[in-house]
Amino acid sequence: SYQLSVISYQLSVISYQLSVISYQLSVISYQLSLFTVYCSLFTVHCSLFTVHCSLFTVHC
C-alpha cells in the first residue's frame, strides 16, 4: 500500500512536470507566431518603402 502511494505520488509529479512543459511549449509557440507576424509586417513595410522610393525616383 505504501509503495502504491509512493508510485501514485511520483506519477502525479511527472504529470505536473509534463503539464508545465506543455505550457512552456505553448508559450514558445505563441512567441514564435508573434515573431512571424512581426516579420511579415516588417517585410510588407519594406516592400512599400521600396515602392515609395522607386516612385520618388520616377518623379525626380
Give 13-55 as a DSSP string. HHHHHHHHHHHHHHHHHHHHHHHHHHHHHHHHHHHHHHHHHHH
Is residue 20's pLDDT more than 90? yes
Residue bearing the bigger pLDDT, 1 or 46: 1
Is residue 51's pLDDT more than 90? no
Is residue 60's pLDDT more than 80? no
Q: Cα(3)–Cα(50) distance, rounded to whole angstroms?
A: 70
pTM, full prediction:
0.55
